[in-house]
Amino acid sequence: MTRMKPALILLPLMAALTIGLAGCHKPKAKTTEAQLARAVRVVQIQPQSITGALAASGDLMPREEAAVYAEVGGFRVAKVMVDVGDHVKKGQTLVELDPAMIQASLLQAQAQAAQAEANALQAEDQASRVKDLDDKGVLSQEAIDQRRFQARAARATANAQAAALKDVRTRANKLAVTAPVGGIVLERTVRPGDMSSTAGATPWFRLARDGEVELNAQLSENDLARIKPGQHAQVTLPSGAVVPGVVRLVSPQIDPQTKLGAVRIHLPVQADIRAGGFGRAVFSDVSGTALAVPESAVRYDADGAAVMVVGADNKVHRALIQTGQRGSGMVQLLKGPPAGTRIVQNAAAFLLDGDLIKPSDVGAMAPATAAQAARK
């Protein structure tokens, strides 16, 4: 009997072992799209209370403006006493006019008044002498009446000259142009050497009474209905500084062209609040209800603001929106998906159109709750 070599026996055994091991190795299972889906928080678009969201812009202007004119014409400006930015008191002299022309007129009026008064006294004395001579035959009745008429005419002339003297004195006192109210000088147009004029003249000065400057904010008709006198606001100045304000007046009418109404906001008197500037007011104690989403849900890119809408199949797609008022961590939707639409709460999540997600529904939350959940 022929004996087989060991090598020949081992070869079939190794082949069988290799086949057996290969049969034991199973192929790797494929990862499904559902397994790759990210878990994200989802919130519904619902009407929300937005507190402190109402804002409005407008111009800074004096609460009350006073114009200063010359009250007498034909006189040359001798001296200008104040300049733009100066604080003046009521009755303070702003401009002095040259009194040379009126001094001669004053002396002449004084002399004419004195002469007329003397003539009146003389005529009245002569009239008093014939007081009891009527029908006595001493003088004719015509002569008696004539003396009495002359006395009346002389007194009338004296009164007219006295009035003319008073007018000249009044004009002389008006050579000092004074401030009608106290406040800040906003504008000055007069120079030494100018001639005063009373017909169609430009104001020499414009004053902000008591230095008070207000914000004349413009609001829509709907927003205007939410504002009441006495409400508080934070006003941002052109410098970036923020000052407190109080609503003083709400316009009783709407501009037919712009459909806006004015709200006058009283501001503190301080140097950096200048008339003619621009300001923005945020009414902190105003609340309202509007269709809104959490601020964290809004993403911004070159196409504008958008939210990621979650479909019935839990796939997301981008939807453009137009935002409005902000407050309490919420943003008003002026245009966008309707109420009840589910959106991704955190726009910072890296999601693309068509991505599948695992939604964790938060539902309709109060503003404070939404802001807290967005930070988680």
Comparing CA positions, the residue from 157, 168, 78 lying closest to residue 122 is: 157
Q: Distance (Å, rounded) from C-alpha 145 to C-alpha 124?
A: 12
pLDDT at site 373: 43
Q: Distance (Å, rounded) from C-alpha 259 to C-alpha 252?
A: 13
**The pLDDT of residue 143 is above 80:** no
pLDDT at site 31: 60
Q: Distance (Å, rounded) from C-alpha 162 to C-alpha 354?
A: 99
Residue percentage of the chain with pLDDT more than 90 = 32
Comparing CA positions, the residue from 98, 76, 71 lying closest to residue 203 is: 71
pLDDT at site 29: 53
Other CB atoms closer than 10 Å to residue 40's CB: what's the count? 19
pLDDT at site 280: 92
Among 10-14, 47-51, 314-318, name the one with the lowest average pLDDT.
10-14
Residue 358 — pLDDT band, cuts 50, 70, 90? Answer: confident
Q: Is 142 exposed, middle or buried (0-12, 13-18, 19+ CB in 10 A)?
A: exposed
pLDDT at site 372: 46
Q: Distance (Å, rounded) from C-alpha 249 to C-alpha 215?
A: 11
List 265's β-bridge partners, or say none: 215, 247
pTM above 0.85, yes or no: no
Q: What pLDDT, in 10s, does the model give residues 68-93? A: 999 888 889 999 999 998 999 999 99
Cα 129 to its chain centre, rounded Å, is: 77
List, in order of start, the domains of the chain with CATH numbers. 38-50+288-374 (2.40.420.20), 55-62+209-287 (2.40.30.170), 65-97+175-207 (2.40.50.100), 100-173 (1.10.287)
Q: 188 versus 54: which is more confidently predicted?
A: 188
Q: What's the chain's average pLDDT?
A: 82
Q: Which residues contact 166 (CB under 8 A, 6 or more apart)?
A: none
Mean pLDDT over 111-140 rounds to 78
